[in-house]
Amino acid sequence: MIAFMNRYAAAWTTEVSLVRAMEQVAIEIQSQLEGRHPDLLLVFCSHHYADAWQNLSAGLVSTTGAKVLLGCSGESIVATGRELENGPALSIWAASWDGVGMIPFQATFERTPDGIVTTGLPQGVNGLLQGNARCAIVLADPYSSLTDLITDHLAEDLPNLPVIGGMASGGGPGENRLFYAHKAIEPQVFEEGAIGVILSGNLTFTPVVSQGCKPVGTTYVVTKADRNFIVELGGEPPLARLEQLYADLSATDQRLIENGLHLGLAMTEYRDQFRRGDFLIANVIGADRNTGVLAIGGKARVGQTVQFHLRDHVTASEDLVEMLKTARSSHPAPQAALLFTCNGRGTRLFSAPHHDAQKLEEFFGSIPVAGFFAQGELGQVGTKNFLHGFTASIGLFG
């Protein structure tokens, strides 16, 4: 399906039987890696195989010889140039590396009288990795994990480390699965928690985070705020600022505001000019016409630069293209990629299928790609990692 590209390989199938599906992708991976065993194997599997999930981790470790395996279930599955939104689908991605370190982990979350207690996260790895950490890949169940605790923990020990991944999707509480294995434990399948791996050493990695929005109007500085309520923008009520903006927009953009408005929160003030990618996108969730206060799905601080943003299928496509152009300037020839896209994208947003996967292929060719449609996507904006919505989070590997 996909030619072997140096140290990476990917394969996918829509075979109905999971046993046969695993056989097919394992044979393909072995061929692409020319008989080498994968150091890392990532697995993304649709819910059509739910009855046989329990055997997935052990089966793929046995057939491929992978040293570390991570994976999850997904509502829809991503492969090279394809987004498999209907029917059974299994997509796997393999890396056979020289000089790349891996620290896998499995985290659990427990509610106690003192708050949420997290166990299983890697401890003290900065000294161990000696500043050579490159990225982390995290997969989690959306109903039983708090990814903020994971990203905050990693940031304490490994500042500025990019994290990519997403929340398993397609099922309710207890219906999603995480697939996990490494040499120190038997292959396992989890219904709860989170799994991940920190990669270090001889690896080039570039994150791409497309939040699907376009900025409109000018930037403002938050001059008064209270938690998620913005009280003043540049000394005026934010609703008054919005009304001024609305009057200057085209009829098309006015309709976008009426259908849903977003506010971009600048991640750094050290910019002469703010552009796409400089903002964390938050939803505008309410407004008080009497006071002019806006409520957003996030927190803004006094002194922070913000800008209104709009989103639809056109802006989402434009934003992805702009982010990929920027990435190509710094990482022109990646050898493989992972794509975690929102389950609200695909044909639910775009008029044609395979949009995000094909844009990735247009920019970087038919490199090995895998991923899934997530119920929340992990990606870095500025130097901090967030759980996003309606976002395509991509990792480019070299």
Show Cβ contacts of residue 214 under 8 Å, excluding neighbours closer than 6 positions.
276, 309, 310, 311, 315, 318, 319
Pull the structure tokens for residue 316: 């989402």
CA separation, residue 388 to residues 211, 237, 298 (Å): 8, 27, 11
What is the amino acid identity at position 363? F
What is the reported pLDDT for 302? 96
The DSSP output letter for 393 is E
Pull the structure tokens for residue 354: 């395979």
The DSSP output letter for 55 is G
CA gap 296, 149 in Å, rounded: 22
The DSSP output letter for 236 is B
Tell me the sheet residues that pair with 224.
Answer: 232
What is the reported pLDDT for 5? 40
Report which secondary-structure segment, H or E, holds 386: strand 384-388
What is the amino acid identity at position 156? E
Can you give the residue ranges of every domain in the chain?
8-204+331-397, 213-311
Phi first, then psi: what are they for 161, rounded to 5°? -70, 125
Tell me the sheet residues that pair with 101.
Answer: 200
Q: Which residue bears the tokens 């794509």? A: 339
Helix axes 313-330, 355-364, angle to 10 degrees: 30
CA gap 310, 214 in Å, rounded: 5
What is the reported pLDDT for 131? 80
Judge whether 185 and 191 are in contact, CB under 8 Å.
no
Read out DSSP for 304-318? -EEEEEEESHHHHHH
What is the reported pLDDT for 388? 96
Strands 384-388 and 90-95: unpaired
Phi first, then psi: what are they for 280, rounded to 5°? -90, 125
Strands 305-311 and 213-215: antiparallel
Binned average pLDDT, 10 residues per bin, the chain of 398 residues? 63 97 96 94 98 96 96 98 97 95 96 89 84 95 97 94 98 98 92 97 96 95 96 96 96 94 91 85 95 95 96 96 95 95 97 98 97 98 95 97
CA gap 216, 210 in Å, rounded: 17
Phi first, then psi: what are they for 57, rounded to 5°? -60, -50
Angle at 190 between CA 20 and CA 31, to 5 degrees: 35
What is the reported pLDDT for 115? 85
Instruction: Judge residue 135's burial from the number of C-beta atoms within 10 Å of its C-beta, 0-12 exposed, 13-18 middle, 19 or more buried.
Output: buried
CA gap 184, 257 in Å, rounded: 52
The alpha carbon torsion through 133, 139, 140, 145 (nearest 10 deg) reads 10
Phi first, then psi: what are they for 147, rounded to 5°? -70, -25
Instruction: Judge residue 186's burial from the number of C-beta atoms within 10 Å of its C-beta, 0-12 exposed, 13-18 middle, 19 or more buried.
Output: exposed
Please give the sequence-ordered ranges of beta strands (E in DSSP) within 183-323, or none if there are none.
185-190, 194-201, 205-210, 213-215, 220-226, 229-233, 262-266, 279-287, 294-296, 305-311
